[in-house]
Chains A and B, each alone.
Chain A
Amino acid sequence: MKQPRWIQTIVFLIFGIIVLLPILFMVFGSFWADGQLSLSSYRELLFDKRQIGLIKNSFGLSFGATLLSLAIGVPLAFLSAKTNLWGRKLLGIAYLIPILIPPYMHAIVWTHLLSKNGLINQCIAQLFSLKETPFDIYGIPGAIFVLTLAYFPFVTLLTASGLRSIDRRMEEASLLHHGPWKTIKGITLPLIAPHILCGALFVFIFSVINFGVPDILRLRVYPLEVFIQFSAYYNEKAAMALSLPLVGLTLLLVALQKWYMKDRSYVNLASGFEETRLYHLGQLQGLACIFAFTILFLSVVTPIGVLLKVAGPISTYVKVLETSKTQIGYSIVLALIGGFSMACLAFFISYFIERTANRAAKTVVEFATLIPFAIPATVLGIGMIKVWNRPITDVIYGSSLIIILGYVAHFIPFTTRVTSSALKQVNPRLEEMAFLVTANWFKVIGKIVLPLIRPGLLAAFFIGFILSVGDLGTTLLIMPPGKTTLPVKIYNLMHYGAEQMVAALCLVLIGIILVFSGTFYMAYKKVTKTN
């Protein structure tokens, strides 16, 4: 049973206008100069020794961070979702904290500890009376370390949401004949491959377009070239041209991922309706605990500890709340609406992608949702101004709505990947059976599909929310006059040298999001129980 035509039309119209139009404007603009077709913007794309060097740095960094995030993120997800690890409930929430801390804060924290004058370096050097300090955070290994700590939760979050939807009977069937290791390797992991790969893709993309972390760690990377086009030459066309290789790379990676997963089935017959099956750790309990809590110590306790120390007395927090409460409220409301809109739109798009019989349409739509992945925030912002800054659309461009549209346009690829991974696990036969009883598409979706992919939808909403709360690049270009979002405020304070305030603001933000997520989680539990 297909989506009703009119829903498809509306969804594609919304997607086309909000997401694709600004980007198409910029892409076509980059081939256009002085009123005719021209490749002059592409002259910046030299691929000389210097640019190749930057690309090498970017690739080394991103591959390193992706591999390390997989090495940490997948076992962590497994431990928290599928084993009887001590403290797994705590772990199941705490591992998300690192993505609530902006990546550049992770970088700043670790420069405090691991630079030449850094605390840890100095302690170790004195303890063992070394002449040279043992660690150097500046450079590729340091950047890989920091980016991994900042982004591995995406792998964990997605892997865990996949693990929660696995049909336990498959594992149980395997366990009748094989040991737990073979079952994990042969059944559990392959079943959640879409989720793991999706997480890996996120980390790779975030790392390859990230500019703040390498910048603080004094590593020159390719996105700097794009940024220079804006900030030194104000040439948005050349910036677009320079970012096309990143877009191409992203599409290539996704194509590889699809090719790898081709013709395999990830459907779960009874996904999500039973308790997940837990593996018993036995003797490995201690080792697993050490692993999990080391990661938490590095990615949560350390940054929060340093932030607490920098922020200092309670009075800083009071001051921060007094001066920034409007911006905090504003950002959170916008991001909630943004996350919610993204999850909805992503669901409808994914549903089309996963259920349409038309393979060509499927491929086209799927790749279209991926394009914004690697488009630099500033390019997108300029495109949005060109599309929306018109007298007719004044209601949108002149109000906060434009920021929400910006969030959706910027982050829809992430939420769509998440909802698609979730939908892959749902057997279409279930829906077909339901259509024998009713022809109402909404009823079937509401009663069958949505409950089945609830963990995926929640993950999509949460990721959309987090990304929106932290967005700076696009917001800065389209923010209506008179409004300020939290990241803009934080950057302002950073430049002013108000380290205390910045640290306190980050902690307040983490606190608010944790309280909010906690309440949300409880409400969600309550609702699912009464259902």
Chain B
Amino acid sequence: MRSLVKLLLTISIIWMLAGCTKTDQKEVVIYTSVDQVFSEPILRDFEKETGIKIKAVYDVEASKTVGLVNRLLAEKEHPRCDVFWNSEVGRTIFLKQKGIFTPYTSPSAKDISLQFKDKDGYWTGFAARARVLVYNTNLLKESDLPKSIFELTKVQWKGKVALGYPVFGTTATHMAALYATLGQEKTEEFLKELKANKVVIVNGNSVVRDMVVEGELPIGFTDTDDVNVAIQAGKPVKMLYPDRDGLGTLLIPNTVAMIKDSPHPEEGKKLIDYLLSKEVESKLAICESAQMPVRDGVKTPPHVPAFSSIKAMDVDYYDIAENIEKSDRFCQNLFIR
């Protein structure tokens, strides 16, 4: 017993000493909600190219960016982080409104269109995902497929559609985008009809994908990266870009922003320049998450559609941000019971 106590004490002391030693090496702190499997290789490449050490905190979408956003808010008085790399855009706008960021216009983002940028330079968007439908190829024929998400309220889809909690993550962003484009009345009508048609609410987009992969349900709402991982793994699923002749598909870009009063501003800027380069967009397109570049002239593999070939939903991200609380409240009352 006593020797064990001694051992543990020694370990803790060494640990504490190791924690105190500071080196002069340049470093930069990044919080990212992009899956570690995709973001880490890119950050490692940055380390190799610049010699600046990256200290990252990875969030998981299973916790719906809850950790990082709440952490950034709580650390506001004494920021620890330099760069926030968000896998979507809604929370970035929210944090901007809370005064977490400082503007930085990166030279790398010159050719990214205004649609994907904050006009005051508080954040910049790149490499987008899209909200799509995932379906099981063993259960549905091409001819059965819906053309529009609004067909999913019809009786033949009763109890067959999976949807992530519409108050979290990109699903919430999607619903708020409907509020922004269709208006409150029509969107709420649609949501009520979905509910009446026994849509299956599950925990997140990856669960939607898994259920469709396993054939428990034939179709569901999810993001392109989630479907792509399954397609690359050879599972019997495909993705469907709905509403090509109507509303269009919601594009959700990655966003990157500089934290106000951050500890390493110079290194932070370098990292932002790097992340916004065409090279990184290309890497994000080539990796399994298959994200779509938001500008031309980026090398992509054949399965990643060109930005211009998609009918993107015509919506301002600030409109989405304005609608998100309203949409969340309605969905919470409708679905969380």
Q: A117–B203 contact, CB under 8 A?
A: no
- Stretch from A202-210, A241-249, A306-314, A491-499 forming part of the interface with B: A491-499
Q: A337–B12 contact, CB under 8 A?
A: yes
Q: A117–B214 contact, CB under 8 A?
A: yes
User: Provided the pairs A336-B8, A492-B36, A496-B229 are in contact, do residues A234 and B56 lie with their beta carbons within 8 angstroms?
Assistant: no
Judge if A508 is at the interface, Cβ distance under 8 Å: no
Judge if A178 is at the interface, Cβ distance under 8 Å: no
Chain B positions 54-74 with a Cβ under 8 Å from a chain A Cβ: 54-67, 69-71, 73-74
CB-defined contacts of B64 to chain A, threshold 8 Å: 231
CB-defined contacts of B16 to chain A, threshold 8 Å: 399, 401
Chain B positions 1-42 with a Cβ under 8 Å from a chain A Cβ: 1-5, 8, 11-12, 15-16, 19-20, 29-31, 35-37
Name which of A224, A234, A401 has the most chain B CB atoms within 10 A of its CB. Answer: A234
User: Provided the pairs A382-B74, A395-B19, A400-B19 are in contact, do residues A484 and B58 lie with their beta carbons within 8 angstroms?
Assistant: yes
User: Provided the pairs A495-B206, A523-B4 are in contact, do residues A337 and B15 lie with their beta carbons within 8 angstroms?
Assistant: yes
Q: B74–A215 contact, CB under 8 A?
A: no
Q: B336–A492 contact, CB under 8 A?
A: no
Tell me which of A218, A234, A337, A481 contacts B8 (CB under 8 A): A337
Judge if A189 is at the interface, Cβ distance under 8 Å: no
CB-defined contacts of B201 to chain A, threshold 8 Å: 218
Judge if B312 is at the interface, Cβ distance under 8 Å: no
Q: A234–B233 contact, CB under 8 A?
A: no
| Closest Cβ–Cβ distance, residue A210 to chain B (whole Å) | 13
Q: A494–B8 contact, CB under 8 A?
A: no
Separation of A40 and B48 alpha carbons in the complex (Å): 50
Separation of A528 and B3 alpha carbons in the complex (Å): 12
Separation of A386 and B61 alpha carbons in the complex (Å): 24
As a 0/1 sequence over residues 306 to 325 of chain B, the CB contacts with chain A under 8 angstroms (1 = contact) are 00000000000000000001
Judge if A284 is at the interface, Cβ distance under 8 Å: no
| Closest Cβ–Cβ distance, residue B160 to chain A (whole Å) | 13
Tell me which of B35, B58, B65 contacts A231 (CB under 8 A): B65
Q: B8–A527 contact, CB under 8 A?
A: no
Q: A218–B11 contact, CB under 8 A?
A: no
Number of interface residues of B (CB under 8 A): 67
Separation of A227 and B78 alpha carbons in the complex (Å): 25
Tell me which of A234, A333, A492 contacts B60 (CB under 8 A): A492
Judge if B328 is at the interface, Cβ distance under 8 Å: yes
Q: Give the interface SS of chain A, mostly helix, strand, loop or mixed.
A: helix
**Count of A-B contacts with CB under 8 A?**
160
Q: B172–A234 contact, CB under 8 A?
A: no
As a 0/1 sequence over residues 167 to 193 of chain B, the CB contacts with chain A under 8 angstroms (1 = contact) are 110001000000000000000000000
Judge if A53 is at the interface, Cβ distance under 8 Å: yes
| Closest Cβ–Cβ distance, residue B82 to chain A (whole Å) | 9
Q: A50–B230 contact, CB under 8 A?
A: no
Q: B55–A527 contact, CB under 8 A?
A: no
Q: B74–A386 contact, CB under 8 A?
A: yes
Tell me which of B2, B63, B168 contacts A491 (CB under 8 A): B63
User: Provided the pairs A389-B78, A400-B15 are in contact, do residues A218 and B200 lie with their beta carbons within 8 angstroms?
Assistant: yes
CB-defined contacts of A385 to chain B, threshold 8 Å: 71, 74-75
Judge if A290 is at the interface, Cβ distance under 8 Å: no
Tell me which of A336, A381, A477, A481 contacts B81 (CB under 8 A): A481
Number of interface residues of A (CB under 8 A): 62
Q: A232–B168 contact, CB under 8 A?
A: yes
Judge if A35 is at the interface, Cβ distance under 8 Å: no
CB-defined contacts of A520 to chain B, threshold 8 Å: 4
| Closest Cβ–Cβ distance, residue A376 to chain B (whole Å) | 11
User: Provided the pairs A54-B336, A479-B57, A527-B1 are in contact, do residues A234 and B78 lie with their beta carbons within 8 angstroms?
Assistant: no
User: Provided the pairs A236-B70, A337-B12, A495-B62 are in contact, do residues A216 and B203 lie with their beta carbons within 8 angstroms?
Assistant: yes
CB-defined contacts of B216 to chain A, threshold 8 Å: 115-117
Q: A476–B63 contact, CB under 8 A?
A: yes
Separation of A333 and B14 alpha carbons in the complex (Å): 12
Q: A215–B229 contact, CB under 8 A?
A: no
Judge if B332 is at the interface, Cβ distance under 8 Å: yes
Separation of A492 and B40 alpha carbons in the complex (Å): 12
Judge if B80 is at the interface, Cβ distance under 8 Å: yes
CB-defined contacts of A488 to chain B, threshold 8 Å: 58, 60
| Closest Cβ–Cβ distance, residue A243 to chain B (whole Å) | 14
Q: A495–B60 contact, CB under 8 A?
A: yes
6 extra interface residue pairs, beta carbon distance < 8 Å, beyond A395-B19, A480-B55: A336-B8, A385-B74, A398-B80, A479-B57, A481-B56, A488-B60
Query: Sorted from nearest, which 9 A-B pairs have the closest CB atoms?
Result: A399-B19, A482-B55, A481-B55, A476-B67, A385-B74, A231-B66, A491-B60, A232-B167, A232-B328
Give chain B's interface residues, CB within 8 Å of chain A.
1-5, 8, 11-12, 15-16, 19-20, 29-31, 35-37, 54-67, 69-71, 73-75, 77-78, 80-81, 94, 167-168, 172, 200-204, 206, 209-210, 214-216, 226, 229-230, 233, 325, 328, 332-333, 336-337
8 contacts between A and B (CB under 8 A): A218-B200, A400-B19, A481-B30, A488-B60, A494-B206, A497-B226, A498-B37, A527-B1
